[in-house]
């Protein structure tokens, strides 16, 4: 009989990957739709600027290594579209492609798998009961929903959503907050944490926007907003466990409240952690508006 102690359970031992039915779906790709997809057009424009030979280089002390001014160090070839996913309306939602690219100096390949989905927004919504006064506990409003890519049946995260192609970041943030939480806010209620954090820095000039959760393969840029509200205690309690979401599109979202000082350990959501980092950094440096 072995005297070795039992090993810790491996969660993967409880599932059989071979039990999942795999199929191959050969759906014709409409390249005209890809060409008009806002995320593709934005990515392609930035890519062509990246590889356009630069003119006069900035030799000042303020030059930043991430500033995108054009480079002859990278050569690109064709972009091979591999799949296109459309929403129920027929509007393109996601495009996956592979870009032929290599370094000019030695022709070593550069990884070129790209998943295009476009920009998104997320909101750090903090609420406090009016009865508790300005020193009362602040709660972050979080959403709970299935995330099959992880996969997890009840993933906890910030209220978030994709842009509609108009580039109206604040409008999209206010709309998504209403859809996912039932809380209506105006654009004036929203503070752009990403814009405040990178203002007056070299990153403000690098041609990018927001923060990037997965730059190794995805173009998604995420703008993070802060919104603070004072509500009646009864309204605050009504939010706990409320079911929301756009059911016509398959959303089934529950709400959760978390004390702000516990938020950093409440979820594995990178949106939460990024928003907290920007919020705390701006607060420590006196960069948040006085009302917050």
258 to 129, 249, 271, 291: CA distances (angstroms): 13, 27, 15, 22
Q: What is the pTM of this model?
A: 0.84
pLDDT computed for residue 248 by the predictor: 58
Q: CA angle, corner 213, sides to 210 and 217, nearest 5?
A: 115
Burial (CB count <10 Å: 0-12, 13-18, 19+), residue 66: exposed
CATH code of the domain made up of 120-284: 3.90.79.10
Domain residue ranges of the chain, discontinuous segments joined by + = 31-116, 120-284
| β-pair partners for 253 | 244
pLDDT computed for residue 2 by the predictor: 45
- Ramachandran angles phi, psi of 51, nearest 5°: -100, 5
Q: CA angle, corner 259, sides to 254 and 261, nearest 5?
A: 135
pLDDT computed for residue 53 by the predictor: 64
- Ramachandran angles phi, psi of 279, nearest 5°: -60, -50
Residue with token string 């994709």: 162
Sign (positive or negative) of CA dihedral 71, 77, 79, 80 = negative
* Tens-digit pLDDT string for the chain (292 aa): 444 544 455 555 568 888 889 898 888 999 999 999 999 999 999 998 888 765 544 444 444 444 444 566 889 999 999 999 998 888 999 999 999 999 988 999 999 999 999 999 999 999 999 999 998 999 999 999 999 999 999 999 999 988 866 667 788 888 878 887 878 888 889 999 999 999 999 888 888 889 999 999 999 999 999 999 999 999 999 888 888 766 555 568 899 999 999 999 999 999 999 999 999 999 999 999 976 4
Instruction: Give the Cα separation of 276 and 193 in Å (integer).
Output: 10
**Is residue 213 within 8 Å of 223, Cβ to Cβ?**
no
């Amino acid at each position: 009989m072995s005297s070795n102690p039992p090993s810790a359970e491996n969660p993967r031992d409880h599932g059989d990957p071979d039990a999942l039915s795999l199929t191959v779906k050969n759906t014709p790709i409409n390249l005209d739709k890809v060409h008009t997809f806002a995320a593709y057009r934005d990515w392609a424009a930035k890519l062509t600027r990246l590889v356009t030979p630069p003119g006069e280089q900035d030799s000042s002390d303020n030059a930043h290594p991430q500033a995108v001014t054009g480079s002859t160090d990278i050569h690109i070839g064709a972009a091979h579209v591999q799949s296109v996913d459309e929403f129920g309306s027929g509007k393109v939602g996601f495009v996956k492609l592979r870009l032929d690219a290599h370094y000019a100096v030695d022709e070593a390949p550069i990884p070129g798998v790209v998943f295009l989905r476009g920009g998104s927004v997320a909101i750090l919504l903090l609420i406090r009961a009016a009865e508790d006064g300005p020193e009362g506990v602040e709660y972050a409003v979080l959403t709970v929903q299935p995330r099959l890519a992880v996969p997890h049946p009840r993933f906890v995260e910030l209220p978030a959503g994709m842009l509609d192609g108009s580039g109206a970041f604040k409008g999209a943030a206010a709309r998504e907050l209403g859809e996912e939480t039932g809380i209506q806010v105006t654009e004036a209620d929203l503070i752009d944490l990403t814009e405040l954090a990178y203002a007056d820095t070299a990153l403000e000039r690098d041609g990018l926007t927001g923060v990037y959760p997965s730059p190794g393969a995805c173009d998604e840029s995420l703008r993070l907003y802060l919104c603070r509200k004072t509500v009646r205690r009864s309204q605050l309690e009504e939010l706990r466990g409320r079911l929301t979401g756009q059911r016509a599109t398959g959303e089934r979202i529950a709400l959760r409240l978390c004390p702000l000082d516990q938020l950093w350990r409440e979820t594995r959501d990178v949106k939460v952690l990024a928003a907290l980092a920007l919020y705390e950094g701006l607060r420590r440096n006196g960069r948040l508006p006085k009302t917050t």
